[in-house]
Structure 1
Amino acid sequence: MQTKIPNTLFCLIFTLFFGLNSFSQERENNSIPVQSDTDTIAPLLDSEEISQQLEQRDTVKVDTLKKPTFLTDIVTYTAIDYMRLSPRENKMYLYNEAKIVYGDMTIEAGLIIIDNNKNEVFAYGIIDTAGVYTQKPSFTQLERTIEPDSIRFNFDTERALVYNSRTQEASFNVKGEVTKRENDSVYFMRNVRFTTSEDVDNPEYYFYARKIKFVPDKKIVTGLVNMYIADVPTPLALPFGYFPMTDENTSGFIIPSPGDSQYGYNLQNGGYYFALSDYADLLMLGSYYTNGSYNMEGASSYAKRYKFRGNVSVRYEKLYNSERGFPNFNERSTYNIRWSHSQDSKANPSSRFAASVNLGSSEYYQESINQSNTGNFLNNTLSSSVSYSKTFAGEPQVNLSLAARHSQNTRTQSINMSLPTLQLSMTRIYPFEPKIGAKKGLFENINFQYSLRGENQINTTDSLFFKPEMFKDARLGAQHSIPISTNFKVFKFLSVSTSTSYEETWVGRTFDRSYDPVLDTEVIDTINGFDSYRTYNFSASMGTTVYGQKNFGSDKKIQAVRHVMRPSISYNINPGFDRYYDTYEILRPGDDVDDIQLVDFSRFDGTLYGAPGNRFGSSIGLSISNTLEAKVRDKDSTATEPKKITFLNNFSVGTSYNLAGDDLKLAPLSLRGSIPLLDKKLNINFGGNLDVYALDNNNRRIDKLNIENGGSLFRLTNGSVNFGYNFSNKDFEGGDDEEDDADPLDDETYRNGGRTDDLFGKSMGPDGELFDEDPFEGDEDENENGWYNYKIPWDVRLAYSLNYINSARQDQISAHSIMFSGNVELSPKWKVGFSSGYDVVNTGFTYTQLRFFRDLNSWQMSFNWVPFGQRKQWNFLIRIKSSMLQDIKYEKRRERDRTL
């Protein structure tokens, strides 16, 4: 209910000069009024009725002089039980859920007293029937709320005194014994606690300051401040403190983490964070070891909504083993460059730019002493790709892409790069298609395409990377391709397709070969200049789909079984291009007659796309694909349709017969397939090759069937079985699987070239904590005390692999391993994780990591332990969870001496 100054509070002052019959409402004390059994007090009136009575009884002539007003805005006040006016005290009492709104300020409390003499408002809580102090005052201005025990506010000065106030600013919960509100942007407080704990009255820890100056959304400036843990003072104290309160990114120092390793005592990952703008930042980190070793890293993340996002980092390490002057002293340098960039699909539908770069020293992850690289030392391959693609709309549509690619084997230290790769393609053109209706028959389905691929390929080693020598043997070339194809049906059920392809290859250099009888070796001369060759081929295929079904009746558990076969036969012709080949002679003197050996070669051998074949090829290919499915009665009695399950998925058998070959015409029989299990959540993939030819005493294939050589019909030359499976407690509770919407670009291990899961362990962050270390966020299944869960959440990941080889009578399992990882939430505050595996061939455990998490409300504790192996180490960390105070921590780590 609203009223202006002349009609409300200002009128109350006039009542002091008139002898109205309202003194009977007065009481002798200032206690809270309670109605007696015999109520002699006049009925309570609301503010509007009070104003009307005052206007009717006021016979004083209104002063024509304009009086100064002490209120600058409309005052609105309400209460549930009553609003009582006391003319003698010139006060108004509002009782039970009282509320006053003045401008952008709102005061709520159990009891509010308005003193018109002092132009002040007092707000208190009230005591309920159980003796509990309830309805404590709440002071709100704009979006800031303070919840004290009592409030005193002056309308003239707009200053306030607040007792035992509680407020939240940024990540801090602040409680002050006495708070003086100077204005809407400055507060002075005495005997203050501020903490990131949710319970400000009983926090796990807090900072205690005798006096502070508090500027909302900006800063807290304190005098002497102490840190208390469980109400016990700690030696951690500062003569003064400055705590930024802004929610925006701010620049600042990053405190390093101490440790001990074979390189001596160290400080890891200390530096400075630069908040460049709302779209980009910069992180500069460094580590130093007492033997002189050091590493540096510069990282930046950038993002623009609905446009793009990415991150880039450059890392360098200088490592010293032993001490200078010792015989085993050595030094080495390693580096690593990463860049990830992704473009929003809505930014530009016709063009796209993407980057995923991970290159550097091959031994970087294996020899790195930074704990943030722990989860990536198992990587054997580094790869990079930077690409730009553009689509030109029209008929036909043209697609253009330009890319730079890099592949690096960290074991062999070989590097393959393509700088750049140009690809241009055109969509299919049907020159004889009808203007109206679908295409039918051989003639109307004739189509052709055009594609161009040009690249500059560089093969080098890690030692020559980024040196001029790496470009010495670069291979430049381009390949034009025009495929022409058509398809039609024969006898209604057979699908026939034929195609021919014309290719033209351009190269920037060729190689001439000759024989040097003096040196008895082949001499290769490089011929720089443009050269080209042209090839063509022909192929045809025919296939169909055969369905077979056996019904057992709807009353049976297995109601029907269906077998789907897709047989196909193909024919390929590859002409021999002898005109691109030459011959040189090798003369070897003999006792009676000189031995002359003719060697065929092509000047295109060793070029980017190699030389064309000089042998005529003609082959027939045979393949058949099988799928076995069944319809079974659903366990759910409410289901109206049977459930479909797959016994065998895409089991294919294929081989080929070389019509133009002289011997060994039949290729090995190839078998591939998968068996879906557990509602298609587990797929067992298998494969193998069966050879019909026998081996001689030197374990070489001979043109003789194996069964004719005393063996079986087929000889298993190789085989493989592998599967991966993820399951959790939700699979046994009938719950729906939750989709993982996490962006892989946010995963540090993935950006380093590793896996997004923890099958090979998890890396540790710059502060020593494990990435994704807050496993309790969003868990709503905690009980009231947080001691245990009725249902214990858990998850497990398995990966199994087996490879068998017998191509030359090895009869051995070349690889056989199982990897497993998982997490168990023992209680709402405890979680245990593990990652390990077992190598059956080498009879030993693979890299094993044990992880322990403890949520301490405002704090978090983690322990990471690698119990054995080359990376044997442990790391203990306890720190405040809030990112604002994450530098307040204790960390202890120990690494194994890798030189032992």
Structure 2
Amino acid sequence: MTPEKVSLIFTKIVFKHLRTNLFHIVLSATFLTLATAKTYAQAQPKAKTETPVLQPPDTLNPNAPQAVKLPVKAQDSVKKPFLSNIVKRKAKDYERMNMKTKIGTLYNEAELFYEDIELKAGIIQFNYEKNEIYAGRIKDSTGALVQRPVFKQGSNVIEPDSIRINTDTKKALIWNSRSKQMDFNIKSQIAKKENDSVYFLYKTKFTTAEDIDNPEYFILTQRAKFVPKKKIVVGLSNLWIADVPTPIALPFAFFPMSEKAQSGVIIPTFTETSQQGYSLQNGGYYFALSDNYDLTFLGDYYTNASYAMRFESSYAKRYQYSGNVNLRFERIIIGERGLPNYGNRREYNIQWSHRQDSKSNPNSKFAASVNLGSSTYFTNSLNQSNIGARLNNTLSSTVSYSKTFNTLPLVNIALAATHTQNTGSKQISMTLPTFTGSVDRIFPFAPKDGVKKGVIKNINLQYSVIAENRFNTVDSLFFKPEMFKNAMNGMKHSIPISTNFKIAKYFSVPISVNYNEVWYLKTINKYFDKETNRIETKDENGFDAYRTYNFSTGIGTTVYGTFEFGEKSKIRAIRHVVKPTISYSYTPSFQRYYDYYDTDPSGTIRKQYTRFEKGIYGAPGLNYSNLLNFSLNNTLEAKVVDRDTTKTELKKIVLLNSLNFQTSYDISADSLKWSPLRVSGGTNLFKEKMNVNFGATLNPYAIDNAGKVINKFNIDNGGSIFRLTNAFMSIGYRIDSKGGEKTTGNTNDQGERNGGRDDDLFGRSTDLSDRRQSQFDEDETQDKDAPAAFYHTELPWDLNFAYSITYNNTSKQNDIVGNSLMVSGNIDLAPKWKVGISTGYDFVQKGITYTQLRFERDLLSWRMDFSWIPIGDYTSWGFFIGVKSGLLSDLKWEKRKAPDRIIR
């Protein structure tokens, strides 16, 4: 046989039941791999000399045993079984075997793989008579101890100074071990491995700090029991901060170490409010119901008998769906019962978000986005810190299911429930349900193959239907019997038939005819009641329908104009695109659907009405419409030389996204035939960091002294051609130290979900139930291992501002009705210090708007922040310092002053 490299040979080993005999492992491995002579199948030459045992360096304390000092036991005379397992090992310098002491040695970058054990160290020695393995460090050229052992069994990894293992009993002694379990870093002076699932620890430090040798804090305990992936049970424990013991101690503690979520108690936070007294907030219980969903119950209690309850649940199924549900209820009491300032309100809010994975079913989709509840919930809530939601005056919800049938043509159906709520007027509009269906476009005269050309081949038609059951109510009657008494329902069918063709290659002419049919189950009847001497309106139940149609056509084209500059100019060309369109629409009168009713007892005065006027899709028109519409759309682009000299192509820049003009002329009207001219436009500046939008309404008719529009052109009344009735302009600008690149950190998700913005322009929302989340967007590209410094050349910062102005002059007011500036900015004063502000100024009311100041200090495994609202109706502040890790989320100190809310 050809001799092989020692490091490339492995050996199978056979074991007795319930007992591992390392003697056969090492002995066989020695004869099969370490012999310098050739190896034969039937005979084994005797070793001429014995290799002396290398004395390992003293890496333990003086009382620690040395593997080389173990006594040698007499050889077992029983016949040994055949080899049945695999041993792999290697070393950089040498591998030696002492046949007298029965000790093998691997030196320098030694590695040993046996069953589920992986061991790497500077030196590894194994005593195959006692079935013991020793691993430790070695000294480098400077005399420093290097190559700390790494012991891995299954998924458990331990990095000690030295370790001794008995492979027969599975027991081990470990000195200065280091291990990571979930977020915990564990360092023990002495650890005893009792078996594969139990460790006993002595003088142990527990911390979530990254640097286990120099942690910013740790929990020190004398004795602990550790069960991997299950639990850690400790005795008397003491909190140390910066190597200084604190008076904070626990007689015992239990830490679950399961990789799966575990149910447990959530410790509340003690706070003080000016109107509700002392309180315990955000205490409750977390239910780990399964791998796919959970449930969190949180509650608040105040000494004046106010209380709150919240149920939060998240659920997910991979490649199927994900979502979360929040149910919130609060009973808020202000003042003393019987006194004038006493107030007692019940507030609630329901949020549900459901997202379906696009890969789960391409032909059907279910989605939900629900945000409904009391109109004053975000204003009065004692557990919400989200000014953006308070400023928002609209809550909306949609729950929908849609399905596509792969027929020819395609058929789509959808079923939805919608909700819209105005928190100012407290009006609620809800559809329960809404059904929509549509059939894809059909070209009845087009060939199956080839291009559709001409009027006939381009004729196409569609079909769509919508059916609704709508409720209009107010906040106080929501989901009460009164809400369902005045339900409105109906169904609308639409069949548009259209075609298009070109004239002289450049002019496009569309033609369309629309047919609509509306079904109602309830109409009205108006009549004069002589007994009551008033006009009565009576609901008529039963099926009824009306049908309408209209015709429209037009002509449009696109005109291009390019102005070119010289070759030496940085701006090479400016391109202007103009899209003029003239359209005509005609809708006849549907007078046959109108009736008359008396307005007085004699019946001499009669008025016209239609029985469909209270329908959800409106009523057919009484007057015919004959309109000419004019529109002119403009875009402006430039081609410039790129600053990057390596690029040869010109760079395109949009100078004007849009500039639109629109008006109409009513041929059938007897007066005021021209409608106001509406101007709108927008553009992006400074590398699209600034967006500008503007609009104006120009009326060609004059007004009288009472401010009423008269049938006389403004220019004929001594004025200009147009009269500016209203105008607006808004500017948004965001810049940062990275050139406007969007960071990938946290956004204001909860604030957006509550109805506010997804940025911090109106302040950053705060989840009071979990203050561990940062108030700032965290940059994931930042090197967390970079050394911290108080000053550096670039301070990360961002600035976001929005300015809006609105002008109104409909009745000679000539007023600026809105003029405000909102600003938010954040800056890193140092790598661990962040400061932010959100504020604004109202130039009409002449006052500072909502202002929030944010401060945050990253304390490595801890986080400290301070949020302050110094002025306004919601003055408040909050301070928090606590551990970031969820394992020690209760290790915190929190203090805040709630805003003095006014019950509304």
TM-score (norm 2): 0.90
Partner residue, 1:757:
759
Matched, 1:698 2:710: no
Residue matched to 1:539? 552
* Residues 422 and 455, structure 1, Cα contact 8 Å, conserved in 2: yes
Select between 628-637 and 613-622 the one with higher mean Cα deviation. 628-637
Counterpart of 2:36 in structure 1 is: none
Q: Classify 1:452/1:147 alpha carbon distance in 2 versus 1 (closer, same or farther; 3 Å).
A: same
Equivalent residue in structure 1 for 2:820, among 817, 821, 838: 817
How far is 1:173 from its partner?
Answer: 0.8
- TM-fit CA distance, 1:101: 2.6
1:486 and 2:499 are equivalent in the alignment: yes
C-alpha change, 1:226 and 1:205, in structure 2 (3 Å) is same
1:93 equivalent in structure 2: 105
Q: State the partner residue of 1:886.
A: 889
Write the distance in 1 (CA, Å) between the matches of 2:124 and 2:860.
Answer: 36
Q: How does 1:165-176 map to 2 (within 5 A)?
A: 165-176=177-188
Query: 2: distance between equivalents of 1:207 and 1:582?
Result: 86
**8 Å CA contact 1:763, 1:771 repeated in 2:** no
1:377 aligned to which of 384, 390, 397: 390
Rate the CA distance shift 1:697–1:312 in 2: closer, same or farther, 3 A: same
Check conservation: 1:339, 1:356, Cα contact below 8 A.
yes
Cα distance per residue 1:628-652 (max 9 Å; x no partner): 2222222222221222222222211
SS of the residue corresponding to residue 592 of structure 2 reads helix
Do the aligned partners of 1:113 and 1:123 also contact (CA within 8 Å) in 2?
A: yes
Residues 198-217 of structure 1 aligned to structure 2 (within 5 Å): 198-217=210-229
Q: How does 1:364-513 map to 2 (within 5 A)?
A: 364-513=377-526
Who is 1:57 aligned against? none
Counterpart of 2:92? 80
Distance 2:751 2:281 in 1: 19
Question: Aligned match of 1:190 in 186, 202, 205?
Answer: 202
Q: Is the 8 A contact 1:12 1:90 kept in 2?
A: no
- Residues 467, 67 of structure 1: alpha-carbon distance in 2 compared, 3 angstrom cutoff: same
Q: 1:348 & 1:573 partners in 2: Cα distance?
A: 44
Matched, 1:160 2:162: no
- Partners of 1:547 and 1:64 lie apart in 2 by 103
1:9 is aligned to 2:20: no
AA at the equivalent of 1:673: G
Q: Which residue of structure 2 aligns with residue 46 of structure 1?
A: none
Cα distance in 1 between the residues matched to 2:56 and 2:147: 17
Q: Are the aligned partners of 2:575 and 2:636 in contact in 1 as well (CA < 8 Å)?
A: yes
- The alpha carbon displacement at 1:65 in A equals 5.1
Q: Distance in 1 between matches of 2:56 and 2:373?
A: 79
Residues 761, 835 of structure 1: 8 Å contact kept: yes
TM, length-normalised to structure 1: 0.90
Query: How many angstroms does 1:549 deviate by?
Result: 1.8
Paired residues of 1:650 and 1:673 also in contact (CA < 8 A): yes
Superimposed CA distance per residue, residues 709-738 of structure 1 (whole angstroms, 9 cap, x where no aligned partner): 111111001111113232211118xxxx34
Counterpart residue type for residue 750 of structure 2: E
Distance 1:374 1:73 in 2: 67
* Structure 2: stretches of 5+ with no match in the other structure: 1-6, 14-22, 32-44, 59-74
2:391 is paired with a residue whose SS is: coil
Distance in 1, Cα, partners of 2:194 & 2:543: 83
Are 1:897 and 2:864 matched, yes or no?
no
Instruction: Describe the shift of the 1:79–1:318 C-alpha distance in structure 2 as closer, same or farther (beyond 3 A).
Output: same
* Distance (Å, rounded) in 1 between the aligned partners of 2:57 and 2:214: 31
Aligned-pair CA distance for 1:479: 1.0
CA positional deviation for 1:781: 7.2
Q: Report the Cα distance in structure 2 between the residues aligned to 1:803 and 1:31, rounded to whole angstroms.
A: 84
Asked if 2 retains the 8 angstrom alpha-carbon contact of 1:557 and 1:633, the reply is yes
CA contact (8 A) 2:766 2:775 kept: no
Q: Deviations over 1:714-767 (max 9, x none)?
A: 1001111113232211118xxxx347597x8x9222222222222222222243
Greater CA drift, 249-258 or 435-444: 435-444
Asked if structure 1 preserves the Cα contact closer than 8 Å seen for 2:874 and 2:900, the reply is no
Alpha-carbon RMSD across the aligned residues, in angstroms, is 2.7
What's the CA shift string for 1:361-389, capped at 9, x where partnerless?
A: 11111111113555421221110111111
Q: Is the 8 A contact 2:26 2:128 kept in 1?
A: no
**What do residues 119-177 of structure 1 show as CA deviations (whole Å, max 9, x unaligned)?**
42322212223232212222221232211111122233232111111111111111111
| Pairing 1:811-890 to 2, within 5 Å after superposition | 811-890=814-893
How many angstroms does 1:618 deviate by? 0.8
**Separation (CA, whole Å) in 1 of partners of 2:213 and 2:671:** 89
CA–CA distance in 1 between the matches of 2:445 and 2:28? 94
Q: Given the superposition, is the C-alpha separation of residues 782 and 819 from structure 1 closer, same or farther in structure 2, using an over 3 Å criterion? A: farther
1:171-320 equivalent positions in 2, closer than 5 A: 171-261=183-273, 262-320=275-333
For 2:488 and 2:102, locate their aligned partners in 1 and report how far apart those are by CA, in whole Å. Answer: 98
1:73 CA displacement: 4.2
1:577 is matched with which residue? 590
Q: Write the mapping of 1:535-684 to structure 2, written as runs, cut at 5 A.
A: 535-587=548-600, 596-684=604-692
Is contact 2:223–2:235 with CA below 8 Å preserved after alignment? Answer: yes
1:514 aligns with 2:527: yes
Secondary structure of residue in 2 paired with 1:136: coil
- Aligned to 1:505, the other structure's residue is in SS state strand
Cα offset, 1:889, TM superposition: 0.5
Q: Which runs of 5+ in 1 are unaligned?
A: 34-61, 590-594
Which deviations, in whole Å up to 9, do the C-alpha atoms of 1:255-279 show, x marking residues without a partner? 1111111211111111001111111
Contact 2:589 2:624 in 1 (8 A): yes
Distance in 1, matches of 2:615 and 2:522, equals 7
What SS is found at the alignment partner of 2:575? strand
Deviations 1:539-578 (A, max 9, x none): 1111111112222232323222222111111111111111
Amino acid at match of 2:620: P
For the 8 Å contact 1:85–1:91, the answer to whether it is kept is yes
Instruction: Quote how far apart the aligned CAs of 1:829 are.
Output: 1.0
Q: 1:129 aligns with which of 135, 141, 150?
A: 141
Residue 576 of structure 1 aligns to a residue whose secondary structure is coil
Q: 1:245 to 1:788 in 2, by over 3 A?
A: farther
Deviations 1:207-252 (A, max 9, x none): 1111111111111112222222222222222222211111211111
Partners in 2 of 1:72 and 1:141 — Cα distance? 20
Give the length in aligned residue pairs. Answer: 855
AA of the residue aligned to 1:143:
S
Contact 1:581/1:601 (<8 A) preserved:
yes
Selected match of 2:807 from 804, 807, 820 = 804
1:845 CA drift (Å): 2.0
Contact 1:22–1:87 (CA under 8 A) maintained in structure 2: no
Counterpart for residue 151 of structure 2: 139
What does the per-residue CA deviation read over 1:281-338, in whole Å, with 9 as the maximum and x for residues that have no partner? 0011100111110010111111111111111121111011112243322211111111
1:729 aligned onto 2:747: no
Task: Assess if the C-alpha contact under 8 Å between 2:387 and 2:762 holds in 1.
Answer: no
How much does 1:856 deviate?
Answer: 0.6
Residues 576 and 785 of structure 1: CA distance in aligned 2, closer, same or farther (over 3 Å)? closer
The question of 1:336 aligning with 2:336 is answered no
Farther off after superposition, 805-814 or 596-605: 596-605
From the superposition, tell whether residues 784 and 443 of structure 1 become closer, same or farther in structure 2 (CA, over 3 Å).
Answer: same
What amino acid does structure 1 have at the position aligned with 2:354?
A: H
Judged with a 3 Å threshold, the aligned counterparts in structure 2 of structure 1 residues 436 and 166 are, in CA distance, closer, same or farther, namely: closer
- Cα distance between partner residues in 2 of 1:852 and 1:31: 54
Q: Which amino acid aligns with 1:131?
A: G
Query: Which range is displaced more, 130-139 or 865-874?
Result: 130-139
Q: For residue 731 of structure 1, give the secondary structure of its aligned residue in structure 2.
A: coil
Contact 2:822 2:841 in 1 (8 A): yes
Shift of 1:447: 1.2
Query: Percent of aligned positions with the same letter in both sequences?
Result: 50
